[in-house]
């Protein structure tokens, strides 16, 4: 039985190993994208000085809207509980576009643009730098990533079967990484013990990641939790998804020529709605407000995309409907859970760090495996025969 699993482990690893390394490494690079961006561009995400009170939201939104072309409008605003963080104003286009504004001075600190490095890593992680075919042709990059991830699951499981020691003492010794007994022993220990330490996280990332690659897998995965799959799925920023969903485009509903004092402004009552929700949820992490809808994210274990959602009358700010996250069925929670498990955010900073380390180990497994396999092949190669000299 072990021989069968050893062959499965080897002959799936050889063709898919490099692809698995690229997928895992690019995934690791994305884990702390937000923190890296905020560290490198602090002036965009944070205000210069915290004042006594922010400016009225209508004034801020009007100022942002005035800088936009006619084809672009304000769709919402994300407000952090941290008074040092600038307001994030979401825009109608391009997809997931947003600007940041200092809520105390009204100064626009800049427009969010994903760094080329992280954009490259995201495209590598999802599609191996391929692009969706406009003519509906086969999306090869997505298919190859999905197939490689599926094979990775079998590689991990077969690796456990091949490795599993027969005694407790052997198990204990197998989980040690020895660095003072030569390079071969070190790479072997790193491959075996490292793989076991990262196993649970790697399986979790692979099994959740497959939901973005294959419709058949997504359908089966969802049905396992009693949920009917939706027709389309996203894999991006939660805040942008929550505030840019459906609904009208706000900011310039009447065009630039219609900014008279008596015309209706869609964000007239956003301040009122925000204050109501902040008072009702003093421990909030972020409040998002758009035309007629709002959401509140609170610190929680598990689904980091879970929010309480509200609808309100845009003309007077009255809350008309409340949908609490705790009252949702599985269909309203599963997408956020899948994403949170995949990126490691479900348990806070600790699980994100562990996910980052596990992804790096996952990237190293094929490389150490190749090294051990090639070294073994060379060692088994028969020595060249020695020819006798002419004198003999």
Taking only the tens place, the pLDDT of each residue in 106-115 is 999 999 999 9
Q: Check residues 76 and 266 and name the one with the higher pLDDT.
A: 76
CA-based angle 251:75:48, to the nearest 5? 90
Q: What is the pLDDT at residue 232?
A: 53
Identify the DSSP state of 291: T
| Average pLDDT of the chain, as a whole number | 89
Q: Which of 305-309, 348-352, 387-391 has the lowest mean pLDDT?
A: 387-391
The secondary structure element, H or E, covering residue 230 is none
Q: What is the pLDDT at residue 250?
A: 43
Tokens encoding 228: 């009917």
Q: What size, in residues, is the chain? A: 392
Confidence band of 188 (pLDDT split at 50, 70, 90): very high
d(C-alpha 140, C-alpha 130), whole Å = 7
Helix (H, G, I), strand (E, B) or coil at 149: helix
Q: What is the pLDDT at residue 259?
A: 43
Q: Look at residue 361 and tell me if it is in a domain.
A: yes
d(C-alpha 346, C-alpha 357), whole Å = 16
d(C-alpha 293, C-alpha 317), whole Å = 10
Taking only the tens place, the pLDDT of each residue in 250-302 is 445 444 444 444 455 778 899 999 999 999 999 999 999 999 999 999 999 99
Question: Of 179, 198, 200, 201, whose CA–CA distance to 188 is shortest?
Answer: 179
Q: What is the pLDDT at residue 9?
A: 97
Q: Look at residue 122 and tell me if it is in a domain.
A: yes
Residue holding tokens 């995309």?
Answer: 305
Residue 109 belongs to domain spanning: 1-129+139-254+261-379
d(C-alpha 342, C-alpha 88), whole Å = 25
Q: Look at residue 367 and tell me if it is in a domain.
A: yes
Q: Look at residue 384 and tell me if it is in a domain.
A: no
Q: Which of 183-187, 213-217, 276-280, 325-329 has the lowest mean pLDDT?
A: 183-187
Q: Tell me the C-alpha to C-alpha distance, in Å, between residue 94 and each of 106, 173, 320.
A: 23, 55, 30
Question: Is the pLDDT assigned to residue 130 strictly greater than 70?
Answer: yes
Q: Look at residue 386 and tell me if it is in a domain.
A: no
Q: What is the pLDDT at residue 260?
A: 42
> How many domains, in total, are found in the chain?
1
Q: Look at residue 307 and tell me if it is in a domain.
A: yes
Q: What is the pLDDT at residue 263?
A: 54
Q: Check residues 208 and 267 and name the one with the higher pLDDT.
A: 208
Q: Tell me the C-alpha to C-alpha distance, in Å, between residue 291 and each of 13, 315, 350.
A: 51, 10, 36
Q: Look at residue 387 and tell me if it is in a domain.
A: no
Q: What is the pLDDT at residue 245?
A: 40
Q: Which of 24-28, 213-217, 318-322, 381-385 has the lowest mean pLDDT?
A: 381-385
Question: Is the pLDDT assigned to residue 94 strictly greater than 60?
Answer: yes
Q: What is the pLDDT at residue 268?
A: 87
Q: Which of 6-20, 230-244, 295-309, 343-357 has the lowest mean pLDDT?
A: 230-244
Q: Check residues 24 and 164 and name the one with the higher pLDDT.
A: 24
Question: Is the pLDDT assigned to residue 230 strictly greater than 70?
Answer: no
Q: What is the pLDDT at residue 392?
A: 45
Share of the chain above pLDDT 90, in %: 76
Q: Look at residue 222 and tell me if it is in a domain.
A: yes
């Amino acid at each position: 039985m072990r021989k069968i699993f050893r062959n499965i482990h080897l002959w799936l690893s050889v063709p898919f190993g490099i692809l698995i390394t690229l997928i895992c490494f690019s995934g690791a690079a994305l884990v702390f994208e937000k923190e890296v961006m905020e560290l490198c561009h602090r002036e965009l995400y944070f205000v210069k000085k915290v004042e006594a009170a922010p400016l009225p939201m209508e004034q801020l939104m009007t100022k942002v809207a005035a800088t936009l072309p006619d084809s672009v409008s304000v769709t919402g605003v994300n407000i952090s509980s941290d008074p040092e963080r600038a307001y994030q104003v979401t825009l109608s286009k391009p997809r997931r576009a947003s600007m940041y504004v200092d809520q105390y001075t009204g100064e626009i600190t800049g427009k969010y643009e994903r760094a080329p490095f992280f954009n490259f890593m995201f495209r590598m992680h999802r599609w191996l730098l391929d692009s969706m075919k406009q003519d509906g042709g086969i999306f090869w990059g997505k298919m190859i990533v999905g197939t490689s991830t599926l094979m990775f699951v079998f590689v991990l499981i077969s690796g456990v079967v091949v490795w599993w020691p027969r005694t407790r003492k052997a198990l204990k010794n197998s989980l040690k990484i020895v660095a003072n007994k030569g390079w071969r022993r070190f790479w072997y220990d790193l491959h075996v013990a490292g793989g076991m330490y990262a196993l649970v996280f790697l399986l979790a990332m692979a099994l959740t990641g497959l939901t973005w690659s294959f419709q058949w897998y997504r359908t089966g995965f969802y049905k396992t939790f009693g949920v009917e799959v939706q027709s389309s799925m996203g894999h991006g920023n939660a805040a942008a998804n929550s505030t840019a969903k459906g609904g009208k485009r706000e900011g310039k509903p009447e065009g630039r020529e219609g900014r008279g004092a008596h015309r209706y402004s869609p964000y007239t009552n956003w301040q009122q709605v925000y204050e109501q929700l902040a008072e009702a949820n003093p421990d909030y992490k972020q409040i998002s407000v758009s035309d007629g809808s709002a959401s509140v994210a609170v610190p929680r274990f598990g689904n980091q995309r879970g929010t309480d959602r509200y609808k309100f009358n845009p003309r007077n700010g009255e809350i008309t409907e409340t949908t609490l996250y705790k009252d949702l069925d599985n269909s309203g929670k599963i997408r956020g859970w899948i994403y949170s498990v995949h990126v490691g955010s479900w348990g806070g900073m600790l699980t994100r760090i562990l996910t980052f380390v596990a992804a790096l180990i996952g990237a190293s497994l094929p490389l150490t495996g190749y090294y051990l396999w090639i070294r073994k092949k060379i060692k088994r190669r028969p020595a060249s025969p020695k020819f006798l000299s002419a004198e003999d």
